[in-house]
């Protein structure tokens, strides 16, 4: 009998994702048992501060990585959009899943009547509407299209955010389509935002399974259960761009790649939080060199003004120190 321990956060979405991986692993058979190890991350504990001020992408990953390194878990399941471009030493991304819908979605209060059809996805939002999001990336792109909107910080898990919306704190909120669908909330999606309006975060819609680099046996099982090469190829290009621009949650950065045949198309942007400046680009390249494509587009964006925007964002935002034990 072989036992595997999955490290996971305790939110409903994280547990759905971990149980999904658990079921796929157990389907391999061969006397394999899988259990969940629920771990609190810093991002789960600090809910009253914007993500950019708390420290960035590692907020939902660091404690899970520490559990792997202490041998308290054998693998960790992450939303790929939460995974920093650099992993902790001794760890590796063993598998990247097939990608769900990578788009962002507008969610409206239950009491609001259904929006009429319009060519403008943001048409249902009245002038000055209060829109909740925890993402500078989403804020930047919303304000670039609709500078009249009042974009307000929104933290908490999916259900908490939806409850705040229905309680009247916001006129709409923006969430990932994949998370809403996984939790059975697809009916709450008011408008799926096209990629031309809201380009997603690197890795959005995909799951990543992290293991110890030296644990070849667990890696092999994870690959057999979860790995999708097409999804991984696209995510590798996006993460290569993220690494090159040294992006986290302190600046609006978006990247999305699609594989068609043997060619990858990568689109990305870097912008200012107020949406007044957006540097956007697109490149195509062979599927067997996703990192090269990501680096090339990153270098192009940096040369066209993204470097200045990023420097200003990092200078303006000073992350809070970790809380004392």
DSSP of 54-66, one letter per residue?
HTSGGGGTHHHHH
Please state which of the four CATH numbers 3.30.70.100, 3.40.190.120, 3.40.190.10, 3.40.640.10 is assigned to the domain occupying 104-193: 3.40.190.10
Of the candidates 87, 99, 101, 171, the one whose C-alpha atom is nearest the C-alpha of residue 129 is 171
Domain ranges of the chain: 1-98+206-227, 104-193, 229-325
Report the SS3 class of residue 287.
coil
Nearest-5° angle of CA 62, CA 65, CA 69? Answer: 135
Helix axis angle, 216-226 to 12-26, nearest 10° = 100
Q: How confident is the model at residue 323 (pLDDT cuts 50, 70, 90)?
A: very low
Assess whether 71 carries a catalytic annotation: no
Q: How far apart are CA 38 and CA 64, in angstroms?
A: 9
Report the half-sphere exposure of 143 (CA within 13 A, side-chain side). 21
Is the per-residue pLDDT at 325 higher than 50? no
Of the candidates 62, 70, 97, 58, the one whose C-alpha atom is nearest the C-alpha of residue 228 is 97
What pTM was computed for the model?
0.89
Q: Please give the span between the terminal C-alpha atoms of the chain, in angstroms, as a whole number.
A: 38
pLDDT score recorded for residue 30? 73
DSSP conformational letter for 27: T
- Identical fold for domains 1-98+206-227 and 229-325, yes or no, is no
CATH number of 229-325: 3.30.160.40
pLDDT, tens only, 153-209:
998 889 999 999 999 999 999 999 999 999 999 999 999 999 999 999 999 999 999
CATH number of 1-98+206-227: 3.40.190.10
- Summarize the confidence of residues 206-222 as an average pLDDT: 97
Structure tokens at 169: 């704190």
Q: Which among 74, 82, 104, 171 is annotated as catalytic?
A: 82
């Amino acid at each position: 009998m072989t036992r595997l321990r999955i490290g996971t956060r305790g939110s409903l979405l994280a547990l759905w994702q971990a149980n999904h991986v658990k079921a796929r692993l157990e389907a391999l058979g061969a006397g394999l048992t899988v259990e969940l190890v629920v771990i609190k991350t810093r991002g789960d504990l600090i809910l009253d501060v914007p993500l950019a001020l708390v420290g960035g992408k590692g907020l939902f990953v660091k404690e899970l990585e520490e559990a792997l390194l202490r041998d308290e878990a054998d693998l960790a399941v992450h939303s790929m959009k939460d995974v920093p471009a650099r992993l902790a030493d001794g760890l590796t991304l063993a598998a990247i899943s097939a990608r769900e819908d990578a788009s962002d979605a507008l969610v409206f209060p239950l009491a609001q009547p259904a929006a009429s059809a319009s060519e403008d996805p943001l048409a249902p939002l009245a002038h000055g509407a209060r829109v909740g999001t925890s993402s500078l990336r989403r804020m930047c792109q919303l304000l670039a299209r609709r500078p009249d909107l009042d974009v307000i910080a929104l933290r908490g898990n999916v259900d908490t955010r939806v409850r705040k919306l229905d309680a009247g704190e916001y006129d709409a909120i923006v969430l990932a389509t994949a998370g809403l669908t996984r939790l059975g909330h697809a009916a709450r999606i008011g408008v799926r935002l096209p990629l031309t309006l809201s380009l997603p975060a690197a890795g959005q819609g995909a799951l990543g399974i992290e293991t110890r680099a030296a644990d070849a046996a667990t890696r092999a099982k994870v690959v057999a259960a979860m790995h999708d090469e097409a999804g991984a190829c696209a995510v590798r290009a996006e993460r290569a761009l993220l690494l090159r621009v040294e992006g986290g949650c302190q600046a609006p950065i978006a990247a999305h790649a699609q594989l068609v045949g043997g060619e990858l198309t990568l689109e990305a942007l870097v912008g200012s939080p107020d949406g007044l400046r957006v540097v956007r680009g697109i490149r195509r390249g062979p599927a067997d060199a996703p990192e090269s494509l990501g680096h090339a587009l990153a270098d192009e964006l940096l040369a066209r003004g993204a470097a200045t925007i990023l420097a200003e964002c990092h200078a303006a935002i000073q992350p809070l120190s970790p809380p004392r034990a």
